[in-house]
Structure 1
């Protein structure tokens, strides 16, 4: 893809990429696949959380998102507080200069418009606002593609998120709940699109799983764990919520082991690893092992080799569903329930805040009894997701790439969610 003057389009990718969250990186990989297929001449670079990882893994230039390297550490000393404050000013200049060098900037997936996990307004919400405001100032088309959103109660965070969305040239969401949340926060979503999460565009793993009932003896179970402490409004109860989650999940894993089931623990972020270690230590059985996954592709391969998956983190669920493996969600937010319903498994959700190991085990056994039917359902829904994401990428090209017929017009095509 080139501009009307014949020069390659300069495309920037923005987000907490290369920072240890496999879901964020998976959305990035899906976007790079689209750019490579549809806009192979585009010049791509990133403004991201982990530039060293992005440059090494994806072979594109990358710039650090924050000037102050201690941005996500708690500032308790005067020097650290001063560094953070100065960093906000420096980042405004750095972000504007970076945006100005591009015709298009894309924020791929991720829950950038939500606060379902603990979040401070002057962290990522401020960075996103700087990006979108700079795009509007310099005429760079900023696209929020397949992002997650949720109604936000904290007023400073809500204001920053609302204005970020308003200033973007293009918006689409990974579920209808996200679009509805932005509408409730005062954003005109009449022409905004809803499509499956970008991670569904990643290649599916090859699987040798039988289409029929679960074999005897039954095979391994993947259990995806998370450093779950509640949401942005649960800070006062964070440790209590985490203890209950960890205790219930540990008891469930122990029950599987007592049934002779091999259990494979999955994580989706570096912060989840202590949770997996705590379960390994508490259960203390050779039947329980932890996967060393470095990408969503690795997680999909793990899920494809399992008879069933029970998982908390959103993109662990996506990997299992994409792999076509019967899945039960330890749901920590409405987005998990919406994803499961969309894929035809809405009955198999369990609250992460109130993990009841006995009830979870009953749900799990019901899941396995319906394994053959659920595998067929997932195969059908994955085919639908593939078609919908092709539609998403076509809409993105039409809306924001300079050589497209609709160049320069925000939300040029108003596609609706396919049935």
Structure 2
């Protein structure tokens, strides 16, 4: 696939990149790889959560998503509440001004249309609505590319998400569940395609030399407190998840298995520390992985992976390691079914350590078979992501005349 576009197109990338979540950053990295390969003349910058980190790591200009630096902290004083209110007004103007400078704005991957984790409507859903509305008003094409979605109960959040999806110039989803959820909320998805997660386009680290010695079991942990609609049960859900995970890791240690705890977000570190303290064994260690590439190296060295975070699962599946999902959302179930592992999902809401251990042992018995079949499924997923990028070029990147006319109109 070779770009024929000779005009320098201005492309903005929008999302919570650089804010400590390796999955978000992986989606950014995947789209940057596509742009640099297929549209090397494009002028690219980002509006994101951690602009300093994005600029240092990926070499593109970046601006802060929110004027108020305390946007995602709980407002506990009149001054903080006033700052948040003022920030909403300023962000409307800032977002419109940023969008206006671009021909195309891409929201790459991530669960931008879902509430599988708690969030407030006036946080990221409001920011995404400002983006999509600005794009429609200012004739800059906004693309939601291979995004995740869920059916939302909270009225204000549902309204903002629904209108964001409607106002986008292009939509595609990373699973049939996501597309069905948006359709159920009243958005016409007849022309929207489903593709695997963008992270399947990232390079896979080389496999290490085979060893006769047993490798570790990687257990990915998460600051899981239920979905946005389960706030009333948040502490109960988290306690059951943590207790079940501790019991499972303790059982592995009693069998003499070394365990590496994985995280995927800065928020997960206290959970890893809690498991480490509760099990209290030298066989349990915490991996220091700052990126998806680091995570892939960890899981490539493992015999088996049991993980909760969606992109921890992707890392393990990409390197062909037999994987069991502690599933907190249908997106994980979709992913595991795509990779032929639908039987190895276990609800994160109801972690039954005995049943989990039983599934784990069944999975390990199929290890040799799965290590043969997973590479083929990974190749299929990577080809489908390439199809996504081909479709994106056809849908979004303007011909020379259109690009010039767009700029002159402004």
Specify the TM-score bucket, using the shorter chain as the normaliser. over 0.9
Q: Offset of 1:271 from its aligned partner?
A: 0.2
Cα distance per residue 1:259-294 (max 9 Å; x no partner) = 111100000000000000111111111111111111
Q: Give the deviation of 1:209 after TM superposition.
A: 6.6
Q: Which structure 1 segments of 5+ residues have no match?
A: 408-419
The CA distance in 2 between the partners of 1:247 and 1:73, in whole Å, is 27
TM alignment of 1:59-78, pairs within 5 A: 59-78=59-78
Please state how far the C-alpha of 1:233 moved relative to its aligned partner.
Answer: 1.1
For 1:114-153, list aligned pairs within 5 A.
114-153=114-153
How many residue pairs match? The answer is: 403
Q: Does 1:185 align with 2:185?
A: yes
| 2:278 is the counterpart of 1:282 | yes
4+ residue stretches of structure 1 with deviation over 4 A? 1-4, 404-407
Please say which of residues 103-112 and 235-244 is displaced more in the overlay.
Answer: 235-244
1:363-374 equivalent positions in 2, closer than 5 A: 363-374=359-370
Structure 2: distance between partners of 1:256 and 1:34: 41
Q: Deviations for 1:94-145, whole angstroms, at most 9, x for unmatched residues? A: 0000000000000000000010110111000000000000001111010000
Contact 1:398 1:405 in 2 (8 A): no
Closer, same or farther in 2 for the Cα pair 1:209/1:329, shift >3 Å? farther
Q: Kindly provide the CA deviation profile for residues 18-52 of structure 1, in whole angstroms up to 9, marking residues without a partner as x.
A: 00000000010001100010001111000000001
Q: Superposition pairs for residues 184-333 of structure 1, below 5 Å?
A: 184-208=184-208, 218-333=214-329
8 A contact 2:3–2:38 mirrored in 1: no
SS in 1 for 2:99: helix
Indicate the RMSD between aligned Cα atoms, in angstroms: 1.8
Shift of 1:188: 0.8
Shift of residue 7, structure 1, vs aligned partner: 4.3
Deviation at 1:208, TM superposition (A): 3.3
Asked whether the equivalents of residues 150 and 181 of structure 1 are also in contact (C-alpha less than 8 Å), the reply is yes
Q: Is the 8 A contact 1:309 1:325 kept in 2?
A: yes
Residue 234 of structure 1: how far off its partner (Å): 1.0
Q: Report the Cα offset of residue 216 of structure 1.
A: 6.3
Q: CA deviation at 1:360?
A: 0.6
Q: Indicate the residue corresponding to 1:388 in structure 2.
A: 384
* CA deviation after TM superposition for structure 1 residue 404, in Å: 8.5
Shift of 1:378: 1.0
> Superposition pairs for residues 18-167 of structure 1, below 5 Å?
18-167=18-167
Change beyond 3 A, Cα 1:340–1:2:
closer
